[in-house]
Structure 1
């Protein structure tokens, strides 16, 4: 480092699973001083060889932290167990452990009660995407905005960042919402390939291209749903209304039956649409079905 270089923020990382190890290597590659701890010390040894310092205990790691204490563990219970007994007063805790919005809110209160500043994160990437900006991976952050800005440079090293609000649970909420949408998409992809069947004269690679193009085009419907939810007018800008979609669903079901494909991945959503139509809202778009899912 020359005299004109800006010193890199030291990072303390608790947890060296696949994701934790990927985070560690990204920070090391970017020149950040790194202290690591893992329940199984052997996992830290390769990183020590790459320039990290290994702490023997979480308390030692936290006590020596001169920057953010990043936690990337199995679950929320592991976070509580690992940080129990550590002196958190005045520390900056960044929790990248997968959790629920409620768990994030409780963990934020838990941290504040111990005098720590808290930021929660939801990682929208898999380990091979970490440290590679070209992959498009990013992390949602929520909680202490000043803390986020203070450590933005270090937090941006492993992946892009998106701050989504000062409510600590919002990062987990955005994370789970996107993963839930992905799960529904995968259900549709699974059903589509099942319909294509085992026939040898079907080019599945070509079908996959058609499928991804079609899903990409249809994904834009999310903007229309968002506009309807904001305005409260669920008929606004509707192209295919619920009555039309519910009627078309019969063709989808008949085709599945004719191809000996179980429709269980589709029928819950179809039943939701039919219920909304039966309530007299056949002229609406899909936004009207959302209220049927909420127990309020």
Structure 2
């Protein structure tokens, strides 16, 4: 085997995302070694010039950098357990989805074996990998991140979020919360307008304007959160509560599921009970720091 260079990369895990990652690295001119429990998934990549490995151990030994993207942390640990003695001095970039505790545990396991570790989250779908549209969040060693920028940048927009290995996972779930919040609220609106025979395509341009306008408030609201002061420059929580009551009542009257707006209202009602009626909407943050309650 030829000697390793900084352009050598190993990919472990060849699902849709793993194959996309390997393909982007090949396109960028890297020498890529691939391994997957199901060898058939490597065929297209081998035809493009990827090198096969017959085991996880030989795959890790082939490159100074190994990128893993498997189904879960249990699979990740199973793949790397036989390789534990081969990791010294290498970099493991883990793009397997999981939570922040799992990321920190994996970092400790890896670093005890003399390796460097970056935990990551892929905020993209496979067809966008290798383009600027694909955001790859990474946390852990800044030195390791900087030293492997050519590799990481080949995957998309590589974004370092901090030294805490759990940060990528936290950003990931926070981003998903934002995504599902927007999508579920849009669906609530679609259901409401459908009762008046307004289709989703007609409603959506208005929904987009509302979403974009709301996004414009976030920077100012973030300043309020960071300072711990909530001046009601636009509206008080009491005003929001009145609007939410209308949304709940209208949904119920029209036979549209009102669980989501009832949740909104319950959070605001609790904040008002806690004496925050005349504060701005971000004061609701305190409710997110409390255990959930059932009404």
Question: Do they fold alike, i.e. is TM over 0.5?
Answer: yes
The count of residues paired between Structure 1 and Structure 2 equals 285
Summarize deviations over 1:154-192 as a string: whole Å, max 9, x none. Answer: 101121011110010011111111111111111101111
Alignment partners' CA distance in 1, 2:242 and 2:290: 27
Instruction: Please state if 1:241 is matched with 2:236.
Output: yes
Superposed displacement of residue 203, structure 1: 4.3
Tell whether the 8 Å contact from 1:36 to 1:52 is kept in structure 2 after alignment: yes
Superposed displacement of residue 238, structure 1: 2.9
Alignment partners' CA distance in 2, 1:81 and 1:238: 54
Q: Secondary structure at the match of 1:121?
A: strand
Tell whether the 8 Å contact from 2:195 to 2:254 is kept in structure 1 after alignment: no
Instruction: Please state if 1:108 is matched with 2:104.
Output: no
Superposed displacement of residue 45, structure 1: 1.0
* Structure 1 segments of 4+ aligned residues over 2 angstroms from their partners: none
Superposed displacement of residue 68, structure 1: 1.4
Partner of 1:45: 43
**What is the root-mean-square deviation of aligned Cα atoms in Å?**
1.5
Residues 59-208 of structure 1 aligned to structure 2 (within 5 Å): 59-65=57-63, 67-86=64-83, 87-133=86-132, 136-197=133-194, 200=197, 202-208=198-204
Tell whether the 8 Å contact from 1:8 to 1:31 is kept in structure 2 after alignment: no
Tell whether the 8 Å contact from 2:67 to 2:93 is kept in structure 1 after alignment: yes
Superposed displacement of residue 8, structure 1: 6.7
Normalised to the residue count of structure 2, the TM-score between the two structures is: 0.93
Tell whether the 8 Å contact from 2:190 to 2:199 is kept in structure 1 after alignment: no
Structure 1 runs not aligned, ≥5 long? 1-6
- Change in CA separation of 1:295 and 1:203 when aligned onto 2, cut-off 3 Å: closer
Instruction: Please state if 1:269 is matched with 2:233.
Output: no
Superposed displacement of residue 288, structure 1: 1.7
Alignment partners' CA distance in 1, 2:60 and 2:159: 26
Superposed displacement of residue 230, structure 1: 1.1
- Change in CA separation of 1:198 and 1:50 when aligned onto 2, cut-off 3 Å: farther
Partner of 1:4: none
- Change in CA separation of 1:91 and 1:165 when aligned onto 2, cut-off 3 Å: same
Partner of 1:36: 34
Q: Secondary structure at the match of 1:70?
A: strand
Tell whether the 8 Å contact from 1:8 to 1:33 is kept in structure 2 after alignment: no
Partner of 2:8: 10
Structure 2 runs not aligned, ≥5 long? none
Superposed displacement of residue 132, structure 1: 2.5
Tell whether the 8 Å contact from 2:12 to 2:66 is kept in structure 1 after alignment: yes
Q: Secondary structure at the match of 1:164?
A: strand
